[in-house]
């Protein structure tokens, strides 16, 4: 038995360090699309493209949380997890995260219809988000919970984003930014709960290793979403198509 293991598994400190290392190296805060966003270098069209595509993610979050609930036979865990669905769906009208995201969309000049008919959703974004839902439907629930732990790293990114929008994108009305404000607190609560459940129920070395892989998979899918958006909105695709036409 090594110092970092208790019995056959990692102790809490080592497990936590493994999870944090994944976030440190792979979280989408370092993606160039986010760098551009946070440095104020996105055009209004690029901001709108991101908002419309991220709406597909937002809409699917409560669906994946319902998948986790449906796979979990432990009442106490379901009680802890349940609020995530209403946090996003709200209980009426435009309550909740999805309503707040719709307000963000309106503030950037998008219509509700544009978001809801998914006309802007890119294939790569759809594949990535659908993969997340599928993952949570098919993996053991503690592993699905571990995949949500990207939220450990979300509050810092939200604070940076909020400041960036205020400074560089004043054309986005302030009430449109409520989603980011509310997620700073919500993501901290969610990630604390997710972390404690992961610590408690990923209680063998194979489960701990799978939890770390689940977090890595989640980082990959968040990264892929931004890759798809960067390709679409950077102008490269258009340039390549025009060159192909010119070349006959
Ligand atoms: O804008 C972001 O960078 C970001 C990242 C993440 C994340 O790290 O998974 C989430 C969110 N936003 C978010 O708004 C959100 O509701 C959310 C739920 C979850 C999840 O996996 O359960 N992640 C995230």
CATH of the domain at 108: 1.20.910.10
Assess whether pLDDT exceeds 80 at residue 125: yes
Return the pLDDT at 238. 78
Instruction: Please report the DSSP string for 186-198 in residue order.
Output: HHHHHHHHHHHHH
Distance between Cα 155 and ligand 1 center (Å): 9
Q: Rounded mean pLDDT of 13-39? A: 98
Mean predicted lDDT score pLDDT of the chain: 95
Distance between Cα 151 and ligand 1 center (Å): 6
The ipTM is 0.94
Distance between Cα 4 and ligand 1 center (Å): 30
The pLDDT-based confidence of 3 (bands split at 50, 70, 90) is very low
Q: Report whether residue 87 contacts ligand 1, using a CB cutoff of 6 Å.
A: no
For residue 38, is it within any domain? no
pLDDT in tens, 66-111: 999 999 999 999 999 999 999 999 999 999 999 999 999 999 999 9
Atom index in ligand 1 nearest the CA of residue 149 equals 21
Return the pLDDT at 6. 56
Give the structural domain span for 143: 43-232
Distance between Cα 5 and ligand 1 center (Å): 31
For residue 216, is it within any domain? yes
Of 154, 160, 189, the residue with max ligand 1 atoms within 8 A of its CB, to mutate for a pocket test, comes to 154
For residue 132, is it within any domain? yes
pLDDT in tens, 187-198: 999 999 999 999
Q: How many domains does the chain have?
A: 1
Instruction: Please report the DSSP string for 113-166 in residue order.
Output: HHHHTTTT--HHHHHHHHHHHHHHHHS-HHHHHHHGGGGGTHHHHHHHHHHHHH
CA–CA separation, 58 and 186 (whole Å): 14
Q: Report whether residue 183 contacts ligand 1, using a CB cutoff of 6 Å.
A: yes
pTM of the entire predicted model? 0.94
Distance between Cα 61 and ligand 1 center (Å): 8
Atom index in ligand 1 nearest the CA of residue 218 equals 9
The pLDDT-based confidence of 2 (bands split at 50, 70, 90) is very low
Of 15, 30, 3, 11, nearest in space to 211 by CA: 15
């Amino acid at each position: 038995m090594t110092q970092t293991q208790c019995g056959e598994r990692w102790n809490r400190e080592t497990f936590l360090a493994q999870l944090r290392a994944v976030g440190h190296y792979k979280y989408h805060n370092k993606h160039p699309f986010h760098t551009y966003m946070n440095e104020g270098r996105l055009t209004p069209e690029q901001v709108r493209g991101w908002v419309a595509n991220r709406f597909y993610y937002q809409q699917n979050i409560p669906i994946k949380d319902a998948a986790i609930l449906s796979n979990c036979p432990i009442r106490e865990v379901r009680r802890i997890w349940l609020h995530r669905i209403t946090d996003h769906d709200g209980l009426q009208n435009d309550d909740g995260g999805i309503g707040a995201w719709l307000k963000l969309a309106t503030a950037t000049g998008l219509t509700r219809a544009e978001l809801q008919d998914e006309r802007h959703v890119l294939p790569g974004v759809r594949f990535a988000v659908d993969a997340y839902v599928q993952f949570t439907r098919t993996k053991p629930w503690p592993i699905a919970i571990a995949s949500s732990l990207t939220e450990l790293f979300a509050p810092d990114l939200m604070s940076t984003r909020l400041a960036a929008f205020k400074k560089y994108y004043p054309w986005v009305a302030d009430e449109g930014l409520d989603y980011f404000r509310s997620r700073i607190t919500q993501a901290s609560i969610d990630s604390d709960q997710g972390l404690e459940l992961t610590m408690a129920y990923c209680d063998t070395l194979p489960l701990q290793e799978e939890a770390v892989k689940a977090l890595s998979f989640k980082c990959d899918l968040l990264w892929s979403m931004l890759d798809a958006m960067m390709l679409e909105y950077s102008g490269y695709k258009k340039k390549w198509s025009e060159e192909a036409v010119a070349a006959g």
